[in-house]
Amino acid sequence: MSSSSCRFIHAGDLHLEQPLDGFDTLPASLRERIIAAPLAAAERVFETAILENVDFLLLSGGILHPERAGPQALQFLCEQFALLQEHNVTVFWGGAAEDGPEQWPTALKLPENVMRFSAERVATLHAIRGGEKLAAIHGTCSDVFEPQDYQPDPDSSFNITLGCAPYLPDSWRPTNMDYWALSGQPQHLDWQGNSRISYCGTTQGRNPDHSGAHGCLLIEIAAEEKIRRQLFPTDVVRFQQEYITWAASESASKFEDKLVARARHLHSDNGEPPRVITWVIDRDDSTHVPPTSQVLQQWLTRLRREFGAQDTPLWTRTITLSGSHEIASSLLQEQTLLGDYLRVLREGDLSLSSSEPITLAEFPRNDRQLLEQIANLGLDRLRHHEVVE
C-alpha cells in the first residue's frame, strides 16, 4: 500500500455485556441468534479488519464493562486481539472510562498489539507501517470529552482523534484533524454532516429504538485529503420499523392483505439478517376507526406464523397505530360513551392548566405514547356503546 494513504476500521459501542431486549416473547427461530448477538456482531468487526487488510483498528469506547461482561466476553476479546496480532493489525483502544485500562483485570494480559489510552490525560500514540509513522492517534479513556484537548501532531502525515463524546455542542469548531473517531451514539451519524467527525454507532442494535443496520466503518484517508468510508454491517439480528398506510377506501381485510404482501417482500430481501419488525399503521383518514385489539392480535399471529419460523425469520414484534392523528370531530360529537370518553380525555387531560391548552405533539414522548394508548383503548372498548338518557 502506498504511504500516501492509511486504511483502518473504526468501531465502538460493542457493549459485550448488554443483551438484546424489547421482546414480549423470545421466538424459537431467533433464540440462539439473540443470545449470541453481541459477541457474534463484535466478531464480524475483527473479521472485517483482517479481510480488508487494514493498517489498524480503532476502538472508540463502550467496548464492554469488565465486571458485568463476565469471563466469556473477556476471553473472547483477548482471543480476537490475538488473531489480529497474527495478521499484524494494531488495535488502538480508547474512549469511555468504563472500559479503560484501570478497569481491566490485572490477571488477564492483553496481547502486545493492543495499545491503550488512560483516563489521566489525552495521549498520542503512533501507528507504524514499514518502520515509519503512519498516523498519530490522540486519545483518552474518559467520560468527559474536551475537544480542545486534542491537537494535531505536525510531524505526522495523518492525525486522528479517538474518544467517547455522547454530546458535542453545535458551537464547537473542530481543530485540524484528519478524522474524529467517536463513540457514544447507538446510530452511525456524522456531526453536522461532516464526514470527518463520525460516530460509528453500535455494532448490534439492542432494542426497537435502534432501528436499521449497524456495523463498523472502513475508513481510507488519502494524502490529497480525500476521505472514503464504507459501513460494513455486522448485526446478526436487525430491529426495523416499517410504516404502512391504511387508506380510507380500504377495508380491514384488504389492508391485511397489503400488510402480508409487504411482509413477504421484506422477507424476500437477499443478504439481510433476520429482522425484528415493529409495524406502524398510519391511517390516511383520521375519521377511520382503528382496528380493535383482537384484530391487531389476529394480524400479529398471522405474520408470526407465516414469516417468523423461516430459516431467516422476519419476526413481527408488535403492530402499533400511529399517534399523529387528531381525534375525529365526528367521534367527539357522538352522544355515546365513546364520545363522552374522548371529550373528557381531550378537555381534561390534554392541558397544562385551564388556561393553557396544548396539542398532542407538544407532550413529552412518553406522555404522548401513554395518551395514545388510552385513546386507542377507549376506541376499542366503547365504540358501540350509546348513551341512554
Domain ranges of the chain: 5-233, 238-382
Q: pLDDT band at residue 334, thresholds of 50, 70 and 90?
A: low
Query: Mean per-residue pLDDT for 26-45?
Result: 96
Report the pLDDT value the prediction gives residue 166, as an integer from 0 to 100: 87
pTM: 0.81
Cell numbers standing for residue 193: 454532516
Q: What is the predicted pLDDT for the residue at 170?
A: 79
C-beta neighbour count of 286 within 10 angstroms? 14
pLDDT grade for 329, boundaries at 50, 70 and 90: low
Q: Does domain 5-233 have CATH number 3.60.21.10?
A: yes
**3-class secondary structure for the chain?**
CCCCEEEEEEECCCCCCCCCCCCCCCCCCCHHHHHHHHHHHHHHHHHHHHHCCCCEEEECCCCCCHHHHHHHHHHHHHHHHHHHHHCCCEEEECECHHHCHHHCCCCCCCCCCEEECCCCCCEEEEEEECCEEEEEEEECECCCCCHHHCCCCCCCCCEEEEEECCCCCCCCCCCCCCEEEEECCCCCEEHHHCCCEEECCCCCCCCCCCCCCCEEEEEEEECCCCEEEEEEECCCCEEEEEEEEECCCCCHHHHHHHHHHHHHHHHCCCCCCCEEEEEEEEECCCCCCCCCHHHHHHHHHHHHHHHCCCCCCEEEEEEEECCCCCCCHHHHCCCEHHHHHHHHHHHHHCEEECCEECCHHHCCHHHHHHHHHHHHHHHHHHCCCECCC
Most confident of the ranges 42-56, 245-259, 271-285, 349-363: 42-56
pLDDT at residue 259 greater than cutoff 80: yes
Question: According to the model, what pLDDT value does residue 371 have?
Answer: 63
pLDDT band per the 50, 70, 90 thresholds, residue 355: very low
| Averaged pLDDT, 261-266 | 95
Q: What is the pLDDT of residue 26?
A: 87
- Stretch 291-309: mean pLDDT: 92
322 confidence band (pLDDT: 50, 70, 90): confident
Asked whether 288 and 337 are in contact (CB, 8 A), the reply is no
pLDDT value, residue 2: 44
Average pLDDT over residues 225-237: 92
Q: What is the per-residue pLDDT across 63-93, written as a single tens digit (0 to 9) for each?
A: 999 999 999 999 999 999 999 999 999 999 9
Average pLDDT, whole number, for the chain?
Answer: 85
pLDDT in tens, 158-171: 999 999 998 887 77
**Residue 130 pLDDT more than 80?**
yes
Q: How buried is 340 (Cβ within 10 angstroms: 0-12 exposed, 13-18 middle, 19+ buried)?
A: middle
Q: What's the confidence (pLDDT) of residue 17?
A: 96
- At 215, the pLDDT band (50, 70, 90 cuts) reads very high
